[in-house]
Structure 1
Amino acid sequence: MNKWKIPTRVLLVGLLSGLFIACWISGFFNDFGDVLLGELFNGASFLEEWSNALTAPIVEGFLKAVLVFWTLYLIKQKGLKVTFFAGIAVGLGFQIMEDFAYLIDESEKLSQALIRLTGAFSSHWTYTAIAVVGVYSLTHHTFDKKTSYFY
């Protein structure tokens, strides 16, 4: 990535950590979140439909952000631009592995592949990149009192 001066190691480590670390660990914590919600709400009927929507964004988003900053720490990189691209790499790795996981479990492979592809253009890689840029900006920039209310 010479044009943007992003080290290839950042993209490679980010992609691999998204592929192999994020999906594997998030699967365990998503299951734990489902069990926890079931215990808290005594197996309420709404959990059948909503538990994945309640646990996955918190678990997966947090884990992907941690992996982005771990990647940057490991490779000793700093900066808004490299954080953005590391977020893309981790999110894309996660997205690829999650799509494969859904396709393996699904009996209607073609329809599931089309469903997954339609969301692929604006899902994990974009959300992760935007979220980590926000976290980086809030932790590495100073804001005057007037503009800090906006954030």
Structure 2
Amino acid sequence: MNTVWHAAVDNPFSSCHNAQIFFSLITRRFIMFRPFTFVLLLVFVMSTATLAWAFTDEPGKEGSFYSPIIRVVPDKGFILITSGSGILWLKASEAAMPHLSKLPVGGLIDVVVEFQGKPNPPIIKLWKLANGDSTCPEFDGKQCVAQKKK
């Protein structure tokens, strides 16, 4: 039996076959004839949504970052670091603000923050400088901790 193509969209070998594939994803025919693919697509969407929900910065949630310091703005109380999803501005707490100027740009820092929710930046709770020279290599949330002599 010969197949007659009525339009360019009906022909999967034409230049418009991407449109046909896209629209077949939302039709009942996709679910009926491709159940395994539909289940895989459903699992992918659900796992992505679950992971996105788990890693949101909900208020009160604590997180930590191990990152190089890109920029320090001590007069406004911010530092810029890199994270897994890009760059991130961190706001210093009132106790940490006087000590920000002691952090070296390019130094590796292990910082614990408390998320405030979007669009507010996370608040720095404590840090430990892993690499770089500073007069405040460790901040415990209240004050700088003296560096132990080796």
TM-score (norm 2): 0.25
Higher relative contact order (CA 8 A, sep 6+): 1
Larger radius of gyration: 2
